[in-house]
Amino acid sequence: MTDIPTPIISVILPVYNRRHVIMRALNSVEQQSFRNYELLIVDDGSTDGLETVVIPEVLRCPHWRYLKHTNRKVAWSRNIGIRAALGEFITFLDSDDEYLPEHLQLRYDYMLAHPEVDIIHGGVKIDGPEETHWVVDAAEPTQKIHINDCCVGATLFAGRKVFLESGSFPIVPYSPEYHFLQKAAGRYRIEKVAFPTYIYHTAGEDRICRNRGILKNR
């Protein structure tokens, strides 16, 4: 049996009842040009037969893992993935979305080229009608904010140590990434990257964003 090298990057993919779209996300991870990664699929108690799609893929890909727990929402699922991750760096992928092939490579290269930076996010390419590019701003629920002005939580990329030292994602009703970054902002350097390699699909989503002000001019 060939030894599997310790991964440099751990990709954490929380999922709940996305049997009909999960293969798009999985295929985009498999097509990454950066190969020294692991994928942790964290099933948040799906009831739609998701495992019948996912488990054959995990058996085929030795650096993929499948974890399942009772339904506790995305923050809990991300935290389970963080605790199980083996990589030096951690990032995320929402089950509705996908990566372009160079996604992991560009983020890894950026971190190597900027050792003074601790956390990066951003680089979103929106797929969906223009009217769906705006989401409720949870800081001001009567207003909407453009997705590109949000911190899309799945684009976060940082050392595993950063997530563990920051206490990972708080269990809150909405936008756990906002609360994570609020804690991290006083301790770590955060940068927003420009290369749009994370494809954010808006169809069928009801997303809430809360980050107004916290990442301005960072």
Please report the pLDDT score of residue 7 as a whole number. 98
Q: Alpha-carbon distance 93 to 37, whole Å?
A: 13
Surface-to-core class of residue 94, CB atoms within 10 Å of its CB (0-12 exposed, 13-18 middle, 19+ buried):
buried
- pLDDT score recorded for residue 141: 72
The mean pLDDT value of the chain amounts to 88
- Residues 123-167 have pLDDT tens digits of 999 986 766 776 777 667 788 887 777 778 899 999 999 999 988
Q: Provide the pLDDT for residue 133.
A: 76
pLDDT in tens, 195-210: 999 999 987 555 555 5
- What is d(CA 123, CA 156) in angstroms, rounded to the nearest whole number? 10
Q: Beta-carbon neighbour count of residue 77 at 10 Å?
A: 27
Q: What is the distance between the alpha carbons of residues 23 and 54, in angstroms, rounded to a whole number? A: 8
Answer yes or no: is pLDDT of 2 > 70. Answer: no
Residue carrying structure tokens 């769906």: 132
Distance CA 102, CA 198 (A): 10
CB atoms within 10 A of CB 100: 18
Q: Per-residue pLDDT tens for 51-92?
A: 999 999 999 999 999 999 998 888 999 999 999 999 999 999
Would you mind telling me the total number of residues written for the chain in this entry?
218
Judge whether residue 171 has pLDDT over 60.
yes
Q: How far apart are CA 99 and CA 102, in angstroms?
A: 8
Q: Where are the domains of the chain?
A: 9-127+150-172+179-202
Q: Which residues pair with 80 in a beta bridge?
A: none
Contact 5, 71 (CB under 8 A): no
pLDDT, residue 61, reads 96
pTM of the model: 0.90
CATH of domain 9-127+150-172+179-202: 3.90.550.10
Q: What is residue 73's predicted lDDT score, i.e. its pLDDT?
A: 87
